[in-house]
Structure 1
């Protein structure tokens, strides 16, 4: 898998950017920001994704780590959904 990521750095960059954007939106974004501040944040995320791309192409498992983080976040959302549904049935 690591060799495929090394062979396709642009796709790897896009995957990293999408994953960190998801984490930002679900964990750190508290409210809607003005468009200029939002643009600055996404530019910073893009720069951070570039840095993480360098680490990924080096030897660190950045994409698998981000994928685990997103999977755990989705698992928590499913758990909250099930709990809310059980409360409504009672």
Structure 2
């Protein structure tokens, strides 16, 4: 059952995951597959599907990678803005 404590969709830093069971929305605990959406909201982005629980380790690795890429992008943007403004990094 989908509840506020066990939602159908989980958002990460730079990605989101939707959980499904037998082609119906599900929570993470009951799901037999998950789809990871990578990219900004409202833009076309890749969807990577995983069978659960067999492929959960691969899904978790992808989530960690997407989080790291997102964080590095934030740091690069900050450095670029500092450069344009002539501000030294702290």
Answer whether TM exceeds 0.5 for this pair.
no
Report the TM-score, using the length of structure 2 for normalisation: 0.45
TM-score (norm 1): 0.45
Task: Indicate the structure whose relative CO is greater, using CA pairs within 8 Å and at least 6 residues apart.
Answer: 1
Which structure has more strand as a fraction of its residues?
2
